[in-house]
Amino acid sequence: MDVKNILIIGANSAIAKATARLYAQENCRLFLLGRDTAALAQQQQDLLIRGASEVNIAPLDVTHFALHEAAIDQALDLFGQIDLALICHGSLPDQIRCQDDFDAALEAFNINALSVISLLTHLSARMMAQRHGCLAVITSVAGDRGRQSNYVYGAAKGMVSRYLQGLRGRLFPHNVHVVDIRPGFVDTPMTAHLPKGALWASPEQIAQAVVNGVAKRRHTVYAPAFWRFIMLIVRCIPEFMFKRLKF
């Protein structure tokens, strides 16, 4: 699909940065939203050097739901239409804290699920009106099944994936496509404290999967692709066995 006007939310994440660089090389126009405007300004200069035809930035704290609509309209007013909206923000919560403290669990759901649904609500209405566009969201393979080591995070990501599945069907008659990008383990600042292994990928690998998935109008993109087969096996494990697995 032809992508020229791109809105990236959570633009300071490692995956978002890597994806923005790829689109900059295609001479796209970019609008970056994130909390740290100084970091966004650094990206802005880098992306212009890499070939972006235009790069605009604005602050957005995604946990302030009341600000979502105005931020999206700011991009729409500038571009005229949004060809691609990419939602990249998220956090990796402390499972132990979340399972013992509902406020911590609620914070995790607000960041990883409810803020995404709020943004998608506004974006889908505008793309329906323009009868064109693509919504792409970074979710996680953790949403495929609830593991005892991270089920709060997994539940939040799984909620978004189920939401995207229904939204995809709703928007299909309006020529709006929905892509669910499910990375496995990614070496980013968010996971810097975790030991790394053979299954880990770089943000650049995930970014290429995003660009390819959007271009080919995929529905669900496992990144890297081998995670599709890993999660197929995980989903097939009987519950009486799965509940005993310490992972």
Q: What is the pLDDT of residues 145-162, one digit of tens each?
A: 999 999 999 999 999 999
Domain contains 110: yes
Q: How many CB atoms lie within 10 A of CB 235?
A: 10
Report the predicted TM-score, pTM, of the whole model to 2 decimal places: 0.94
Q: Given this model, what pLDDT does residue 210 score?
A: 98
So what's the pLDDT on residue 2? 65
Q: What is the CATH number of the domain that holds 115?
A: 3.40.50.720
Residue type, 152: V
- The domain of 124 spans 5-242
Main-chain dihedrals φ then ψ at residue 138, nearest 5 degrees:
-80, 115
Nearest to 133 by CA among 87, 83, 77, 168: 83
Amino acid type, 147: R
Is position 247 within any domain?
no
User: From residue 104, how far is each of 27, 111, 133 by CA, in Å?
Assistant: 41, 11, 35
Q: Is residue 18 part of a domain?
A: yes
Mean pLDDT, residues 185-213: 88
Average pLDDT estimate for 192-209: 87
Q: What is the mean pLDDT of the chain?
A: 95
Q: Please check whether residue 54 lies inside any domain of the structure.
A: yes
Please state, in angstroms and rounded to a whole number, the distance separating the CA atoms of residues 146 and 94: 15
Task: Report helix, strand and coil shares of the chain as percent, to nearest 5.
Answer: 55, 15, 30
The whole-angstrom distance between residue 2's C-alpha and the CA centroid of its chain comes to: 20
* Number of domains making up the chain: 1
At 106, is the secondary structure helix, strand, or coil? Answer: helix
Nearest to 55 by CA among 1, 3, 5: 5
Question: Which residues are CB-neighbours of 2 under 8 A, at least 6 positions away?
Answer: 83
1 falls in which pLDDT band (50, 70, 90)?
low
Residue 48 forms part of a structural domain: yes
Q: Are 21 and 9 in contact (CB under 8 A)?
A: no
